Amino acid sequence: MYQIDRIINQVALGKSQSIFLTGEYGIGKSSLARCMKVFAINKGENNDRTKTGIRND
């Protein structure tokens, strides 16, 4: 989770970042991606100066 947090912070600073989720079918890649999105959105809402660049649709 530390690495994900670090990447989200970099995006908030305007730096492009990529995360590649790989693994076997059914291991939870999509669930992890959804959790990362919610984490980034919540982090942005809790910090007025932060723009995560992640859409909430």
pLDDT band at 31 (very low <50, low <70, confident <90, very high): very high
Q: How far apart (Å, rounded) are the C-alpha atoms in residues 57 and 54?
A: 9
Contact 10/19 with Cβ under 8 angstroms? no
CA distance 35 to 20: 14
Rounded Cα distance between 54 and 14, Å, is: 12
Counting residues of the chain whose pLDDT is more than 90, the rounded percentage is 26
Q: What is the pLDDT of residues 37-53, one digit of tens each?
A: 888 888 776 665 445 45
Phi, psi of 52 (to 5 degrees): -75, -25
Q: Would the pTM count as exceeding 0.75?
A: no
